[in-house]
Structure 1
Amino acid sequence: MNASWLNGFDHFFEQLVHLMPGLKSLMLKITFLADTKVDLVWMLLIAIILWIKKQHPLSLSIVVSLITADAFGWVVKHVVQRPRPINHMAVDDGFSFPSGHTLGMAIIVFWLIMIMIPALVKNRTARIWLNVLLIVWLILVMISRVYLYAHYPSDVCGSVALGAMWVGIVDAVWDKVTPRTIKNNF
C-alpha cells in the first residue's frame, strides 16, 4: 500500500476535496445516510417493495447482494488492514479499506442501475435520469468519506470497484441458478 503512484493519487484527490471548506455538517449527513446500518434499511425497503409487487426473485437478489458484499468487505478489511488517515474526523473505527459506507452504497446503486431499473423502468429518459442521480449520490458518498478523513481516495475508488464487481458476480450467479424468465418475472 505504499506505492508512490497510490500516494500521489490519494494526495491529489485529498487536496481537491479539501478545497471546499465548511462542509463538515453536510458531509456528516451524507455519511449518516450511507452508513452500513442505513444501507440495510434501504435494502430492506427496496426488498419489501419488490416483494409486495410480486417481484420475489428481484427482492431476494438485493438481499443476497448486500449481505454477501458486507461479509466480503469485512473479510477484505481484515486481510488488508490499511490504517485510516491521520486526521480522521468521523466516529468510525477499524481499518480504511474497503470503505463500508462506500461499498454498501455502491452495491445498492449498481444493483439498481444494472438490475432493477432496466427491468422495471421502461422510459429511457427516466432510466437515464435515475442512473445519473444514483451516480451523483455515490460520488457524494465517496467525497464525504474522504472529506472526513475516514478513508483515502483510493479506498473509496476501490470500494466502488469492489461493489460493481460484486453486483456483477451476484447477477451472473443469479442467472445460472434462476432462469431468466423467473428472475425477470415482470
Structure 2
Amino acid sequence: MFIERDQHRWWRFAISGGAFIILMLLIKFNSTVVTMIDAVLQSLFTGQRVEGAGWFHALMTLLSFLASPKMDLLWVIIIAALLWYKHYQIPALWALGTIVGGDVFGEIFKHIVKRARPAQHLAADDGYSFPSGHTLGIFLVAAILLLIVVPLIKKHSTRTICQLLIVFVVFFLAVSRVYLYAHWPFDTISAMLLAYAWLQVAEWLYVAWAPRLREIPFLSTSEI
C-alpha cells in the first residue's frame, strides 16, 4: 500500500494537534506574547518589500493565487482524475476526502477563533485570518503528491527533485501569505500544524479502510 501502518502516527497527531490547540487558545484569548512575536516576524518578512523590483512581488502574488483554497481543490480533483484513470481509484477518493476534510476543519477553526487579518491586507483577502486556508490547503496537496504521486515516479533522481520542489512551494506559499499581509506568521504555522494533524487521521483511515473498499465491485481492481 502507499500508506502503511505506523505505530507512531498517533504520537505525531497528539504532538501536532496539541501544539495547534495551544496556539489557537493563545490567539483566541489575545496572548500578548504571541501578538508581539507575530508582529516581529511579520516585520522581518514585510520590512524590505520589493514591489519596485517587480518580479518578487509578482511571484508572491501568483503563488498565492495558485494556492488559493479553490485552486487547491482544483489541483486535487485533477490529481484524483489522473489516479482514477490509472486504476488508483481508492487513492483518488482518499485524496479528495483529505483535501475536503482539511478545508472543513480549517473553516470550523476560523469561525471559532475569528481573528482579524493584518490591517494592510488586500481587499480580495476577506474573512478571518486564523488558520491560513491557503497554507493548510497547499500543505495537504503537497502531502497527497508526496504520498501517492511521487512514489509512482520510477527514477530516483526525478523523485528527489520533485520532493524538493514540493517542499519549496509550501515554504514560499507560507511566506507569500505573510508578505502580502494576508496573514500573521502564526496563522501559517498553525495551518501547517492543523494540516499535519489531520493528515495523520487521514492516513489512519486509509490504512483501515482501503482494503475494505476493494470489496466494493467498482473498486475491486483499484491499486492501494
Counterparts in 2 of 1:143 and 1:81: CA distance versus 1, 3 Å: same
Aligned to 2:39: 11
Amino acid at match of 2:39: H
Count residues with an aligned counterpart. Answer: 185
Distance in 2 separating the partners of 1:16 and 1:57: 43
Distance in 1 separating the partners of 2:44 and 2:160: 28
Aligned to 2:179: 147
Aligned to 1:30: 63
Distance in 1 separating the partners of 2:207 and 2:192: 22
Q: Could you list the structure 1 runs, at least 4 aligned residues long, displaced by more than 4 angstroms after superposition.
A: 180-184
Larger Rg: 2
Instruction: Give 1:62 shift.
Output: 0.6
Distance in 1 separating the partners of 2:109 and 2:103: 10
TM-score by length of 1: 0.90
Structure 2 residue runs without a partner (length 5+): 1-26
1:98 aligns to what SS in structure 2? coil
Residues 31-60 of structure 1 show CA distances to partners (whole Å, capped at 9, x for unaligned) of 110111111110111001101111111111
Instruction: Give 1:134 shift.
Output: 0.5
Amino acid at match of 2:170: L
Aligned to 2:109: 76
C-alpha contact 2:90 2:213 (8 A) present in aligned 1: no
Counterparts in 2 of 1:128 and 1:12: CA distance versus 1, 3 Å: farther
Residues 90-131 of structure 1 show CA distances to partners (whole Å, capped at 9, x for unaligned) of 51211101111111111101222234323x134333222211
Distance in 2 separating the partners of 1:9 and 1:129: 34
Identity of aligned residues (%): 34
1:97 aligns to what SS in structure 2? coil
Instruction: Give 1:69 shift.
Output: 0.9
Matches within 5 A, 1:1-186: 1=27, 2-18=30-46, 19-22=48-51, 23-118=56-151, 120-179=152-211, 185=223
Instruction: Give 1:25 shift.
Output: 2.7
Counterparts in 2 of 1:132 and 1:79: CA distance versus 1, 3 Å: same
1:84 aligns to what SS in structure 2? coil
Instruction: Give 1:161 shift.
Output: 1.5
Instruction: Give 1:63 shift.
Output: 0.3
C-alpha contact 1:111 1:167 (8 A) present in aligned 2: no
Counterparts in 2 of 1:8 and 1:129: CA distance versus 1, 3 Å: farther
What is the RMSD computed on CA atoms of the aligned residues? 2.2
C-alpha contact 1:110 1:163 (8 A) present in aligned 2: no
Residues 125-158 of structure 1 show CA distances to partners (whole Å, capped at 9, x for unaligned) of 3222211101110111111110111100100111
C-alpha contact 2:136 2:192 (8 A) present in aligned 1: yes
